[in-house]
């Protein structure tokens, strides 16, 4: 095919975002696209003309496999919101000037709802100026909060990590004969998909968390304390999974309560964290019960040593199918997943107008949350469990997982 491709990664890293990059690269090569450039740090880096030729870094099939097993964004990432074309035409002229210089015909962007804003704006601009460059988004987010698609690459692996870690933490907590409450803080600003995944730890050999608090329901500190006290009547050990994004009825994040300053990112999102510690202290202050907070932190999004094989396969497929969609002439679209059935699990990809996805957020259906808002229902379990199936072993070298990297 004529012309070259460029691919970028944007937003928070995942354990499988590089599998999508590998999918784009492999399919582009299979489609005889001549060069596949990689933006360094997404569109922000591209504006500074920072890019690489991916063939310089991915030369062999082994390196493609290594790339799939490398956590976080191989190319680097950004949190950069493109201005509207009307307010900053020079930004778009610059980007399209770079496209011309590099003979770009295909643009792929691997990211979440904010990143799809970039695909939307660039494809609209291309349309307005009569450019034939095709812009396709590849879904990516551990948060699983993209609209239209059944789920997002990155979610299954994060869910598997969370469920695995929960199982181990529950083993650890129950090993003592003393009474305790363990509060585990899990990522997810407005959508509880990741926190709900803690429930997957409940299986034949594990009782799972006792309480799950999602951002989809208003959080009340006193009801929380009452619920713990009720459980403590029968359980020595109580395990709570709480989203970092739970808010009280005044609309404030719980974690804002003991912070000096709350920082926001370029999309206006507040940076969260501290919910578990705050609730642990609050509980102990109110009741004297021994409590500890655990924060899964960045490992839930970058633990490439514990990925879902299904997730990594689908992430690769989403990247490859973006190339296929572009090759057949589509633009201004994102690859989506449609689930055919749960048992046996069957899924197909499709493409969807980016306007239905960009800047939108999909939360957990209210009917999947129990009436008192402290657990999720079986529907969630049926939805999420197929996504954590299967393993992909890291390439272990001298006792540690090996990753691909750019030496600069």
62 three-state secondary structure: helix
Q: Which positions from 361 through 400 interact with a copy of itself, judged by CB under 8 A?
A: 385, 388-391, 393, 396-400
Among 113, 118, 304, 374, binds a copy of itself (CB under 8 A): 304
Going by C-alpha positions, the residue among 34, 149, 17 that lies closest to residue 73 is 17
Is residue 281 part of the annotated active site? The answer reads: no
Q: Does 163 bind a copy of itself (CB under 8 A)?
A: yes
Nearer to a copy of itself, 35 or 305 (CB): 305
CB of 177 to a copy of itself, least distance (A): 4
User: DSSP of 109-144, one letter per residue?
Assistant: EEE-HHHHHHHHHHHHHHHHHT---EEEEEE--TT-
Q: How many residues bind a copy of itself (CB under 8 A)?
A: 64
Residue 295 engages a copy of itself in binding (rule: CB under 8 A): yes
For the segment 30-49, give every residue that binds a copy of itself (CB under 8 A). 40-41, 44-45
Give me the catalytic one of 114, 117, 143, 145: 143
Choose the stretch contacting a copy of itself; rule: CB under 8 A; options: 219-227, 302-310, 313-321, 372-380.
302-310
SS (H, E, C) 93-106: HHHHHHHHHHCEEE
CA distance 89 to 104: 19
Using the minimum distance from each CB to a copy of itself, give the nearer residue, 132 or 205: 205
Nearer to a copy of itself, 260 or 328 (CB): 260
Give the three-state DSSP class for 139. strand
The span from the CA of 148 to the CA of 357, in Å, is 7
For residue 376, the 8-state DSSP code is B
Which range binds a copy of itself by CB under 8 A, 120-128, 135-143, 204-212, 239-247? 204-212
Cα 48 to Cα 258: distance, rounded to the nearest angstrom? 39
| Helix, strand, or coil (residue 181) | strand
58-73 residues labelled b (16+ CB within 10 A) or e (exposed) = beeeeebebbbbbbbb
Query: Which of residues 20, 73, 195, 313 is near a copy of itself by CB under 8 A?
Result: 73
Q: What residue has token string 């499988």? A: 16
Residue labelled with tokens 């590849």? 138
Interaction mask 118-157, a copy of itself, x per CB under 8 A: ----------------------------------------
Q: Shortest approach of a copy of itself to residue 159 CB, angstroms?
A: 9
Q: Among 149, 201, 363, 374, which residue interacts with a copy of itself (rule: CB under 8 A)? A: 201
One of 303, 312, 327, 352 touching a copy of itself (CB under 8 A)? 303
Residue 335's DSSP bridge partners are: 351
- 19 makes contact with a copy of itself (CB under 8 A): no
Is 6 or 75 the residue whose CB approaches a copy of itself more closely? Answer: 75
- Please give the structure tokens belonging to residue 356: 């239905």
Residues 265 and 10: beta-carbon distance below 8 Å? no
Tokens 């009801």 sit on residue: 223
Question: Active-site positions?
Answer: 143
């Amino acid at each position: 095919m004529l012309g070259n491709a460029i691919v970028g990664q944007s937003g928070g890293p995942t354990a499988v975002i590089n599998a999508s990059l590998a999918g784009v690269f492999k399919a582009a090569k299979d489609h005889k696209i001549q060069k596949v450039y990689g933006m360094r740090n997404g569109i922000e880096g591209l504006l500074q003309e920072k890019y690489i030729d991916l063939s310089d870094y991915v030369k062999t099939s082994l390196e493609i496999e290594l790339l799939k097993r490398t956590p976080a964004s191989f190319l680097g990432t950004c949190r950069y919101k493109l201005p509207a074309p009307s307010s900053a035409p020079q930004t778009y002229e610059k980007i399209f000037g770079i496209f011309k210089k590099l003979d770009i015909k295909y643009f792929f962007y691997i990211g979440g709802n904010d990143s799809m804003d970039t695909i939307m704006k660039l494809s609209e601009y291309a349309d307005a100026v009569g450019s034939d460059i095709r812009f396709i988004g590849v879904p990516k987010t551990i948060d699983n909060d993209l609209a239209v698609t059944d789920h997002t690459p990155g979610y299954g692996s994060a869910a598997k990590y969370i469920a695995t870690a929960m199982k181990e933490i529950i083993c650890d907590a129950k090993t003592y004969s003393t009474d305790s409450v363990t509060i585990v803080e899990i990522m997810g600003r407005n959508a509880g998909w990741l926190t709900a995944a803690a429930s997957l730890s409940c299986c034949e050999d594990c009782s799972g968390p006792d309480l799950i608090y999602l951002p989809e329901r208003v959080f009340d500190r006193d009801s929380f304390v009452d619920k713990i006290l009720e459980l403590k009547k029968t359980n020595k050990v109580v395990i709570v999974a709480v989203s970092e994004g739970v808010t009280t009825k005044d609309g404030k994040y719980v974690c804002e309560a003991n912070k000096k300053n709350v920082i926001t990112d370029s999309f206006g999102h507040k940076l969260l964290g501290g919910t578990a510690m705050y609730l642990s202290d609050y509980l102990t202050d109110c009741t004297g019960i021994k409590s500890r907070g655990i924060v899964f932190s960045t490992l839930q999004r970058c633990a490439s040593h514990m990925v879902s094989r299904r997730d990594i396969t689908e992430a690769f497929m989403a990247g490859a199918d973006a190339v296929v969609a572009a090759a057949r002439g589509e633009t201004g679209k994102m690859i989506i997943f449609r689930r055919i059935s749960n048992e046996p699990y069957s899924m197909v990809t499709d493409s969807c107008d980016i306007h239905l996805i960009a800047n939108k957020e999909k939360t957990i259906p209210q009917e999947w949350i129990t009436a008192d808002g402290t657990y999720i229902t079986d529907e969630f379990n049926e939805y999420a469990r197929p996504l954590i199936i299967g393993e992909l072993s890291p390439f272990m070298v001298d006792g540690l997982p090996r990753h691909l990297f750019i030496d600069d």
